[in-house]
Amino acid sequence: MADFIDKVRVHVAAGDGGNGCLSFLREKYLEFGGPNGGDGGKGGDVFLEASPRITTLLDLAQRPHLKAASGGHGKGGDKTGEAGSDLVVPVPVGTVVFRDGVLVADLHKAGQRYLAAAGGRGGRGNLSFKSRLNTAPRLCEKGAPGDRVTLTLELKLLADVGLVGFPNAGKSSLLSRITAARPKVADYPFTTLSPNLGVASHKGVHFVVADIPGLIEGAHRGKGLGTEFLRHVERTRLLVHLVDPAGFGDKDALSGVGAIETELKSFSRVLAGKPRVLAVNKLDLPGAEGVLKKLRARLRARKVLGISAATGEGVDALLDRVIEELSRHPAPETFDEEAARGAARVKVEPGFRVEPQGGGVFLLKGPFVERAAAMLETTLPEAVDRFQRTLKKIGVDKALKRAGIRDGDEVRCGCFQFEWSDKPYAPLHRLRRRHKRTRIGVGK
């Protein structure tokens, strides 16, 4: 299959939170109904879910932009906005997720999920700001923006045994012999253009076998097809190295064995430590027995097997060796997502930082202040007043002065910008509710 895709970059955007509502109860005979603006709904999350029905990342390569639904806005009558629906994206089992070059998830089990982007929380309506000191708040919040991240997804096939070797060594023929898989088989090199999987069963033991496209010398530097698929054999427990007795190109069978071993070791240390079974294929062809004897004489430290994928000769002995080696090497450890999350929690980012840009412009950065600026409803004086008090309380004023800000300079925080003034801060006067007085007296 030429459309096999095993690496893709996706842009993930969670849903934004809904805006809070500014509303007051107005009913007949009820002069002071009070605030009743509801909160906005939470934005939808984006999940990646391992699905056994998906075998390639082709769909994500064609549609790399993933966006969840935003939350609904709050309404009067204390009505909370509807939460945005989550977006669940199916990916193949064995997909690993990288964020900024760091491994953050390993979806190695069917049904396993990873929260790729969290939806923004809904903005609060004015009912949520009601207090004893402010019984009629005239402010509300915008919804918080959802997470925006760029992720790199890589597919690493989950197989117990990987078949490696030069092109036309008979890997696909062996796979079709020992499993129900039917890969394309032909008498020319590079017949296999993508990995094939099959489930083999021998003496009551079941294991997954992967046929990896043929390697050539220099594959770890990008030559041939094998460099695109070497990552798939990193998860296998055992490698079966098939040797064509006729050799490949200008290399005979013996020098070809050394070349493949060099490519595996040059690609990664993981492959260098994989146990390997060496087998000479195509014993049904003339001269193959002589090549097998020569390899056994030169590689006495390794038990070289002889098979014929076409006739089935020696295949049972190979499978005996395979299940014996698999019993000695348990399944490799997988990525501990919970440990990674715990490590991420330890990292504490400062609430804000000031970056002078020159020309009287200062950038105010940080997750807290940027989220507060994004949720600020700038058309409401009371909301702006609350934002100013919050910045002053966390020490933004002092930090700007230390950075050399002057009267009239511009401060930018996310999409919000304001002009700095050295005048003393004057809090906004809140309007209090006036209660109707009733005079009680004694009649004449």
- Answer whether residue 333 is part of any domain: no
Co-location of 151 and 172 in the same domain: no
Has residue 252 been placed in a domain?
Answer: yes
What is the 3-state composition of the chain as percent helix, strand, coil, each rounded to the nearest 5? 25, 25, 50
Range of the domain at 87: 7-156
How many domains does the chain divide into? 3
Q: What is the pTM of this model?
A: 0.72
> In this structure, are 318 and 355 located in the same domain?
no
| 342 lies in some domain | no
Give me the residues paired with residue 417 across strands.
412
pLDDT for 344: 46
* Same-domain check for residues 225 and 271: yes
Q: For the segment 18-34, what is each residue's pLDDT rounded down to a tens digit?
A: 999 999 998 887 777 88
| End-of-domain residue from the set 104, 125, 156 | 156
Residue 147 lies in a domain: yes
- Residue 182's CATH number: 3.40.50.300
Compute the average pLDDT of residues 148-160.
Answer: 86
What is the C-alpha separation between 185 and 183, in angstroms, rounded?
Answer: 6
Q: Across all residues in the chain, what is the average pLDDT?
A: 81
- What CATH number does the domain containing 30 carry? 2.70.210.12
For the residues 194-198, what does the mean pLDDT come to? 72
Q: Which pLDDT band holds residue 231 (cuts at 50, 70, 90)?
A: low
Q: Do you know the residue count of the chain?
A: 444
* 201 and 269 housed in the same domain: yes
In this structure, the answer to whether residues 399 and 428 fall within a common structural domain is yes
Coil, strand or helix at 82: coil
Residue 339 located in a structural domain: no
For CA atoms 200, 205, 206, 212, give the dihedral sign: negative
Do 149 and 170 sit in the same domain of this protein? no
Confidence of residue 343 (pLDDT cuts 50, 70, 90): very low
* Token pair 């019993």 in the structure block, residue: 327
Weakest mean pLDDT among 132-146, 178-192, 239-253, 411-425: 178-192
Q: Residue 354: name the closest of 281, 420, 436, 270 by CA.
A: 420
